[in-house]
Amino acid sequence: MKSLKLAHNDGHTDVCYDSSGSFILTCGSDGKVCIWEGKDDTDTSSVNLGDKIFAIAFQGGRFFAATEENTIRIHTFPDGVSDGMVTRFTAPCRHFVVSDDGSMLVAGADDFKIKVISMEENECICLYSEHQAPILSVSIDPTKEFIASSSCDGTVKVWHVIDGTTEKTLNLLSKCSDPGQAKSLCRMCWSTDGEHPTMLVLTTLYLYMFQHPTILVLPYNVAISVHVLASSHTCTYHTI
CATH number assigned to the domain comprising residue 160: 2.130.10.10
Tell me whether strands 82-88 and 32-36 are parallel, antiparallel or unpaired: unpaired
Task: Determine, yes or no, domain membership for 108.
Answer: yes
Task: Determine, yes or no, domain membership for 207.
Answer: no
Task: Determine, yes or no, domain membership for 234.
Answer: no
Task: Determine, yes or no, domain membership for 195.
Answer: no
Q: How many domains does the chain have?
A: 1
Q: How far apart are CA 49 and CA 200, in angstroms?
A: 30
The pLDDT, as a whole number, for residue 221 is: 55
The pLDDT, as a whole number, for residue 240 is: 47
Question: pTM for this one?
Answer: 0.87
Task: Determine, yes or no, domain membership for 231.
Answer: no
Q: Which residue ranges in the chain fall short of pLDDT 70? A: 1-3, 39-42, 212-214, 218-240
The pLDDT, as a whole number, for residue 231 is: 34
Task: Determine, yes or no, domain membership for 6.
Answer: no
The pLDDT, as a whole number, for residue 146 is: 96
**Distant-in-sequence, close-in-space partners of 149: CB < 8 Å, separation ≥ 6:** 108, 114, 128, 131, 135, 137, 138, 139, 156, 157, 159
Task: Determine, yes or no, domain membership for 45.
Answer: yes
The pLDDT, as a whole number, for residue 84 is: 96
Task: Determine, yes or no, domain membership for 54.
Answer: yes
- Domain extent, residue 125, equals 13-188
**Distant-in-sequence, close-in-space partners of 201: CB < 8 Å, separation ≥ 6:** 172, 173, 184, 186
